[in-house]
Chains A and B, each alone.
Chain A
Amino acid sequence: MSAAQPERIVIVGASLAGLRGAEALRREGFTGSLTIVGDEPHEPYDRPPLSKVALTGWVPPERTGLPWLADLGEVDWRLGVAATALDRRAREVVLADGTRLPYDRVLLTTGVRNRPWPHAGQAALAGVQGIRTREDSRAIGDLLDAGPTRVLVVGAGFTGSEVASVCGQRGLAVTVVERAENPLVGPLGGVVGEVAAGLQRAAGVDLRCNVTVEALEGSGGRFRAASLSDGTTVEADVAVIALGALRNTEWLAGSGLATGPLGVSCDPGGRAYAVNGMAVDDVFAAGDVARFPHALYEYEFLALEHWENAVVGAQVAAHNMICDSPDRRAHVSVPVFWSVQFGTNIKSVGVPALASQILVTQGSAKESRFAAAYLDGDRVVAAVTFNHGRYLEYYRHLIEQACPAPVPVGVAEGNAPEDARFPDPGAPYEFPTVVVSGRSPTAMEARRVPHERTSGER
């Protein structure tokens, strides 16, 4: 680390990225004062289990605390209190209780929150529940323990699909309502979405696609039924709202940083951009809340709601916060995520949403056991596996090398690239866990790179 090290570092956000950032600071020799702010009253805990194993009854949601992988030394934990402002001129983080925490460097890891059900009165009905926190998972677990006659899941992204999977496993009747043509089309496209739909239906899920929930109805303050846009009604006792996430950036309004609904803009090393398009030296961002230009994707800005991105992004940012300028490094790892649903291990590398075509390379989509490469014109940009996880590493290497399509594997006879069928990124129903948002640090819109390029462009 640098000889002239900062004396005070504040980390705002006490989840995975905040913890891994703190560990990296200490591991790399930062001995100054370290403060970690979290709006939840808990030490950092892991969220992926909350929609999976924590709902099965095996592991309670209170037992997903994250291990500390380094000696954190002295830490001033400020838990249960949110940050409300960043005063960059005074170099202070302002908390909801009025406390002002001075910093020399600050790391923003405030993550995302649930997109709420749009009608507050309906959302307040007993039995209507989102899932993001430990308490949310406990609430859904208790609702499932009470033996509902039917569970309604609104939104068939990863989280909604995982909850539906656990309901099926527990022998509960479950209806899933999805606005798109199939589950998972935002992150994985329509071809893979069709496979995901097959998994749900084979498990007995009553899957309704191309339809929306218009109203949640209750009696006596309890959720009883949902009316759908096709005129039908689903009677259920529990409604799990899984409509994707919103980035926690509102508290940074007025900070002069380039932030908005698509995240905190930062450079590949995690340094935040100011609204004038210049990177600042004392504010860094990492994890779900950060949007950064990725070298592998022609410096498109990506915001990644992925576990691995929180770990690596925070480690890179922490390193850059305390090292000399020639030693700074960029966050260039290939995005990766996983999901477990309906007995199937789904994994992906790269950014599928940047592709126009998909090619099933190994196994059989019909049997829901396969690997597929996502192609953008002349190169492989991503891959997905269903119960073929061991092959993922191979595809990661192809993506890192910007491998030209067709991929150099023996593709089963008859398999040819086909339209991956991604919905319009501006469409209101898409809840992707990867948001691609152009190349400007300050002007942001959800968009996709056009895949038809002029020949001279590469």
Chain B
Amino acid sequence: MKLVVDLSVCQGYAQCAFLAPDAFRISGEEALLYDPQPDERLKERVLQAAAACPVQAISVDREQR
């Protein structure tokens, strides 16, 4: 699966890093690093993370939704 985070929107709430820590990591105080093509096994967690993002900054492939 492919995903992208709109970092101009991201405010570092870090919900994604709690829900799918293998795909999203916080670097320093508030910067987000992520894996744009996480393993398929992480799909459910990544979709949860995308849904839980308070500012809806995470976009995933159309066919994955």
Contact = CB atoms under 8 A, between A and B. Distances in A.
A333 B15 CA distance: 27
A28 B29 CA distance: 40
A261 interface: no
B2 A66 contact: yes
A390 B37 contact: no
A345 interface: yes
**Most chain A C-beta atoms within 10 Å of own C-beta, residue among B12, B29, B36:** B36
Interface stretch (A45-53, A186-194, A397-405): A45-53
A343 B64 CA distance: 32
A212 interface: no
Contact of B8 (A52, A336, A343, A390): A336
B61 A343 contact: no
A69 B4 CA distance: 10
The 3 closest A-B pairs by CB, nearest first: A343-B28, A345-B31, A67-B2
A68 interface: yes
B36 A63 contact: yes
Report whether over half of chain A's contact residues are helix, strand or loop; otherwise say mixed: mixed
Interface in A51-77: 52-53, 56, 58-59, 63-71
A85 to B, nearest CB: 32
A347 interface: yes
Interface string A392-431: 0100000000000000000000000000000000000000
A59 B35 contact: yes
Interface centre among B7, B28, B33, B60 (most CB of A within 10 A): B7
Given A67-B4, A343-B28, A58 B35 contact: yes
A387 interface: yes
B44 interface: no
Contacts of B35: 53, 58-59, 63
Contacts of A52: 33
24 contacts: A49-B36, A53-B33, A58-B25, A58-B35, A63-B36, A65-B36, A66-B2, A66-B4, A66-B36, A67-B2, A67-B4, A67-B60, A67-B61, A68-B61, A69-B59, A71-B62, A308-B8, A338-B7, A340-B31, A340-B33, A343-B27, A343-B29, A343-B31, A389-B12
Contacts of B7: 48, 307, 338
Contacts of B8: 306-308, 336-338, 347
B8 to A, nearest CB: 4
A349 to B, nearest CB: 8
B58 to A, nearest CB: 10
B3 interface: yes
Interface in B42-65: 59-62, 64
Contacts of A344: 28-29, 31
Contacts of B31: 340, 343-345
B4 A389 contact: no
Interface of A: 46, 48-49, 52-53, 56, 58-59, 63-71, 306-308, 311, 336-338, 340, 343-345, 347, 369, 387, 389-390, 393
Interface string B10-31: 1110000000000001011111
**Secondary structure type dominating chain B contacts:** loop
Contacts of A69: 59, 61-62
A46 B36 contact: yes
Given A46-B4, A337-B8, A389-B12, A65 B33 contact: no
A98 to B, nearest CB: 33
Interface of B: 1-4, 6-8, 10-12, 25, 27-31, 33-37, 59-62, 64
A59 B28 contact: no
Identify the interface centre among A65, A345, A387: most chain B CB within 10 Å of its CB.
Answer: A345
A311 B57 CA distance: 13
B11 A65 contact: no
Contact of A64 (B10, B36, B62): B36
Contact of B30 (A63, A308, A336, A387): A387
A307 B57 CA distance: 13
Nearest to B13: A390
Given A337-B8, A343-B29, A345-B28, A68 B34 contact: no
B12 to A, nearest CB: 6
A36 to B, nearest CB: 17
Given A340-B31, A390-B11, A64 B37 contact: yes
A389 B11 contact: yes
A261 B28 CA distance: 37
A68 B36 CA distance: 12
Contacts of B29: 343-345, 369, 387
Contacts of A65: 2, 36-37
B36 A308 contact: no
